[in-house]
Structure 1
């Protein structure tokens, strides 16, 4: 979450921004009419009747306000907020003037993905003000901030409107803008509306359970948790060989050495790290997002699956990088560790679906941008033919590619009459044919299903990577 939005500055010695209310106009008009009538008609009773209105108005205006209220928004605690978590924010209104604000009306907008269920003033609130809007709103499905809140603000005091609820979806969601108007001098003067800029609440995607127990196709780093094909220091036994200068004594296999009457050592495979490139296809969006616990759109599945895959491989010590297949071509450099995972979550907050008029392949995959040993996991709904062409080109370049289908399984056909349903069925058949052609080109296509989604695919890819290659003469 970001910090509080700074209140707008006001000039304390200026009366600009204050206007008379209809109550002041009625009081002046009534007192003036009674005084004029009493003088013209020579009636003392009319003058006596006008005296309370004139004296009351003069007494209320004896101390006129000079400063406008200050409004700012403060998000909740600066802790990582995940989908489904509790969100909190505070809209504060301060009184920098030397007179009390008899009445203050404050209202704030909130992103629809932040369901505010509780809203009320903090601290002691006058009883009449609480009846006017200090309690949460009722009604099912209605946000607690869909109405104004009313209270009073004493001199040099701050009134906090506390908002609490639940974050429904990942992304950057605004709290605000918020505005306040106050009345002073017994309700005879009212200020203009003072607005403040919205504050940003960052909601990270919920990590879906994911685990892949299969080895990487090619582990080429220096250290890591995967068994490479290269001999070295590790825990996986590769065989027994004759002792050579530089071998450690603890590696000597005494049983084989006594039987062969020559020193032999146990050879092991080195543990290496791997690079995982997660490619996000953002050319199209489909489905309707229902937030956490509801239906998932293409972007929802893509973002949550990316967070899960990145968390899994970063936890194992691998290097993870992110790419966007779209006109923006955003990129996150490969790195490892917890800092990279937090960077991944921050990077995912700005994922947006953007249509591209031209083929973005050359823009995304520049020269030497992808390592030949990297595992490329492509999250795509396969709604655009350019996505299939991109997968085929990656496979023909010799890279290890796994395509994850992010199209919602419960995508409903159109309800229009006529040829809409038939066109939908034909599109489905064409998409299934395209997936079959990708598999014929050596691109495995699997549907995202959380834990174990990529186990079988990674097993096949690792088997192909270790298989001997036949060279042509």
Structure 2
């Protein structure tokens, strides 16, 4: 059930990095050894046997070797990986390249470049070595453009290069450059919630609160009191009652939305953009869409992980918070907890709307939801378990065990709903409207102490 982690294609030998820092930069090749051996053997035989033809036959090898070695390279080649730093979204284009620079006055006869890449980057020239030549004091680049298939921090590289010069008589030790990270942001599913927040606690914003104040929502008409503005006077009621009356309104305030991500485990096989979605895929894409929606409306959004590390992003608003949230989501990984974790509801504001993205496959997830509800928080659970997720068949009892697990999970969902915790499947735009309407209606009712 658990999807494989992104792997690197086996293109750069592991020994390359070990050889990179040992020995001289340039070393003789077997071609040079054969040329010296053949020249010496012909000269010795020619002198020993008194045959001039053998000496003349050795002359081209000696002259050719001397000509190629008249100038020898001194500096090692330079290798660098570059990638486009612009915003890259799942399914978008990635522009990357590997550049080989020759700082010496000797041209490179042959350069063989090999690279590793993340399996979620479908780039050119990464499935095989690439050969090229580099002029003296010049450079050459290998284009690695392609598509980004999945969100996350994907690596282009590491890359290794072997260089041959002086007619193939000298070769440079392998030059290895570290990987270059490419940030691939999740594609945001369309989301648009038209329902009001259950509790708006800020000073200004776009949501109607339950407090009287300056706003656009009419709350009623009341007698004029000192401090009321003249423009609030309702002249129709005042003329009818012969006393001044003013129109009272509800203040428009912002709300805090807490996106709580359950990262205790990963379920399902990730197929990248356009393919099947795992639990983390659904979680990250839905969280990005909801954060974008509420931040555009001026609300405050914070993110929190339910896992071993319990990462947290403080609440804030604006476009800057949206970019920070996207960066934060790139580091979402399965983070199981070996021991019980004391998740305190004090981490969540009492007036915040808590959206919990959870597959509900770990009993601790249901306990966390119940703890938030008992603490009086406004909780909405978003079920991120892929449809039809079943464990792999490992024996004749696997189907029966799977059926029992599905029944138990259904009982957990029913108990959560009985305790006032709505659980809905993520379905994009408008999928949470009905739930938010019910939560807002419950929030407007008197709350017991």
**Above 0.5 in TM-score?**
yes
Query: Post-superposition shift, 1:236?
Result: 0.5
The corresponding residue for 2:287 is: 306
The corresponding residue for 1:114 is: 121
> Given the alignment, which residue of 240, 252, 258 partners 2:233?
252
The corresponding residue for 1:460 is: 438
Alignment of 1:68-467 (within 5 A): 68-76=76-84, 78-116=85-123, 118=124, 144-362=125-343, 365=344, 368-467=346-445
CA distance in 2, matches of 1:349, 1:274: 25
The corresponding residue for 1:67 is: 75
Deviation above 4 Å: which 4+ runs of structure 1? none
**Can you give the 5+ residue segments of structure 1 that lack an aligned partner in the other structure?**
1-7, 9-14, 119-143
Output one character per residue of 1:248-290: Cα deviation in whole Å (capped at 9) or x when no partner: 2221111111111111111111001111111000111100000
Paired residue secondary structure (2:94): strand
Query: Post-superposition shift, 1:314?
Result: 0.8
Query: Post-superposition shift, 1:47?
Result: 0.9
Identify if the C-alpha distance between structure 1 residues 257 and 53 changes in structure 2 by more than 3 Å, giving closer, same or farther: same
The corresponding residue for 2:9 is: none
The corresponding residue for 1:48 is: 56
Query: Post-superposition shift, 1:415?
Result: 3.5
Contact 1:207 1:307 in 2 (8 A): yes
* TM-score, normalising length: structure 1: 0.88
Paired residue secondary structure (1:361): coil
CA distance in 1, matches of 2:447, 2:268: 43
Contact 1:325 1:361 in 2 (8 A): no
Query: Post-superposition shift, 1:19?
Result: 1.6
**Can you give the 5+ residue segments of structure 2 that lack an aligned partner in the other structure?**
1-16, 18-22
Query: Post-superposition shift, 1:291?
Result: 0.3
Output one character per residue of 1:335-394: Cα deviation in whole Å (capped at 9) or x when no partner: 1111000010000011111111122233xx37x422111111110000100110111111
Contact 2:390 2:402 in 1 (8 A): no
Contact 2:104 2:137 in 1 (8 A): yes
Contact 2:266 2:278 in 1 (8 A): yes
CA distance in 2, matches of 1:468, 1:354: 39
Contact 2:295 2:301 in 1 (8 A): yes
Size of the aligned set, in residue pairs, is 429
* TM-score, normalising length: structure 2: 0.93
Query: Post-superposition shift, 1:427?
Result: 0.5
CA distance in 1, matches of 2:342, 2:306: 7
